[in-house]
């Protein structure tokens, strides 16, 4: 059945490439009859069309951006459906023929998540090795009382809460990536097929280890935000890969270390885990977060005796630069999203009259003073 579904998806992709069609509505209304040769229930035909259109749309977006696009055709057998299945206790039951169902036993973690309040099962994806369930949960976003600032660096992740600051060491991620690179470089087999298979295996193992390590950090951050009813504020990192390209006057090892920095993976995990708990996540500009004192606001300078320390002449304190950055990120988030200072300024005289319409985005904050 999974092989039949894969053939249907590839058949739809082939038709879409020949006819230059990638929208679900046009494809299903024009080429649905092309799938009559496949002896499978009609609900799976609709899902196959949806899968093919999604792959074609993704390929077109990649080409439009100027990126190298991968082949949209499916190689491994799989099955996706969002119709006709149900949960019977600890088993997932889906139809394979008329009045014939196939049952899969779920593990304890899946049963626990599906039994939570407000969780609804939407679809499933099955292949010869695994089963994936897509769920939806209605979450009410909390009203934040505090702010947690997160500063991401290559060797640590620093979190500043209203009570204290916590630093998570990420040196282990660097050793994992360097060891994996050393193992790949020491491979001496000349067979290209064996070499590619070995490289893929080591790369997947490295990704799993990095993700598992970051899962522990992101889980702890979200749990602390949930306990304190806080908003999570991250620095908006953009264009950092352009700083470490070939020809910028930097060493190859240094560029490789910085370009393998998994800053977005931590952000992705925090975002989806916070959304599951109803915790808002916002972003602020990281400019000058390591240059101003979080206590008095004066400019600080590097400590001559300790490399990672910053010294404030006004306060007379020496603080870690990552802690300073996380505290400033939290302060920026609090000032911008939770406690905005002051009201907007008048654009023109006479806007205070109730008969004159309010200019949204300029006089919006004045609604509280009317």
43-74 residue pLDDT tens: 899 999 999 999 999 999 999 888 888 889 99
State whether 179 and 253 are in the same domain. Answer: yes
Residue range(s) defining the domain that contains residue 73: 2-79
Q: Which residues of 3-34 are buried (b: 16+ CB within 10 A; e: fewer)?
A: eebbbbbbbbbebbeeeebbeeeebbeebeeb
CATH number of residue 154's parent domain: 3.30.420
273 is a domain residue: yes
Query: Chain centroid to CA 295: how far?
Result: 33
pLDDT for 340: 58
State whether 227 and 171 are in the same domain. Answer: yes
30 is a domain residue: yes
Range in 136-145, 214-223, 258-267, 298-307 the model is least confident about: 298-307
345 is a domain residue: no
256 is a domain residue: yes
Three-state secondary structure readout of 158-190: EEECCCCEEEEECHHHHHHHHHHHHHHHCCCCC
State whether 101 and 184 are in the same domain. Answer: no
What's the mean pLDDT in 122-141? 90
14 is a domain residue: yes
Judge whether 133 and 220 are in contact, CB under 8 Å. Answer: no
361 is a domain residue: no
Q: Which of 162-171, 288-297, 308-317 has the highest mean pLDDT?
A: 162-171
What's the mean pLDDT in 236-257? 83
In the chain, the number of structural domains is 3
Where a domain ends, among 41, 56, 79?
A: 79
Range in 114-123, 216-225, 269-278, 357-366 the model is least confident about: 357-366
370 is a domain residue: no
346 is a domain residue: no
Check pLDDT > 90 for residue 220.
yes
Check pLDDT > 80 for residue 201.
yes
Report the predicted TM-score, pTM, of the whole model to 2 decimal places: 0.76
């Amino acid at each position: 059945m999974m092989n039949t579904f894969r053939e249907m998806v590839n058949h739809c992709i082939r038709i879409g490439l020949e006819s230059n069609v990638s929208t679900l509505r046009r494809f299903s209304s024009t080429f649905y009859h092309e799938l009559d040769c496949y002896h499978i229930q009609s609900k799976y035909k609709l899902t196959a069309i949806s899968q093919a259109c999604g792959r074609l749309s993704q390929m077109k977006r990649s080409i439009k951006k100027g990126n190298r696009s991968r082949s949209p055709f499916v190689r491994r057998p799989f099955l996706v459906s969002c119709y006709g299945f149900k949960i019977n206790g600890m088993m997932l039951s889906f139809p394979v023929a008329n009045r014939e169902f196939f049952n899969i036993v779920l593990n304890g973690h899946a049963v626990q998540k599906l039994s939570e309040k407000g969780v609804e099962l939407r679809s499933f994806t099955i292949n010869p090795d695994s089963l994936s369930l897509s769920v939806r949960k209605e979450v009410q976003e909390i009203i934040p009382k505090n702010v947690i600032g997160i500063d991401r660096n290559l060797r640590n992740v620093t979190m500043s809460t209203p009570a204290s600051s916590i630093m998570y060491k990420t040196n282990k991620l660097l050793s994992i990536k360097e060891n994996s690179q050393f193992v790949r470089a020491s491979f001496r087999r000349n067979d290209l097929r064996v070499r590619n298979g070995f490289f893929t295996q080591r790369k997947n193992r490295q990704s799993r280890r990095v993700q598992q390590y970051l899962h522990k950090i992101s889980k702890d951050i979200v749990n602390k935000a949930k306990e304190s009813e806080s908003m999570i504020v991250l620095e908006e990192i953009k264009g950092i890969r352009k700083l470490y390209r070939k020809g910028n006057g930097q060493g190859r090892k240094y560029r490789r270390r910085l370009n393998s920095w998994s800053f977005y993976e931590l952000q992705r995990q925090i975002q989806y885990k916070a959304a599951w708990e109803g915790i808002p996540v916002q972003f602020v500009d990281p400019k000058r977060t390591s240059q101003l004192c979080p206590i008095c606001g004066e400019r600080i300078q590097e400590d001559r005796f300790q490399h990672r320390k910053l010294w404030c002449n006004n306060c007379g304190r020496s603080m870690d630069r990552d802690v300073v950055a996380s505290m400033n990120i939290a302060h920026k988030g609090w000032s911008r999203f939770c406690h905005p200072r002051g009201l907007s300024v008048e654009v023109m005289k006479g806007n205070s009259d109730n008969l004159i319409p309010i200019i949204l985005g300029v006089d919006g904050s004045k609604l509280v003073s009317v």
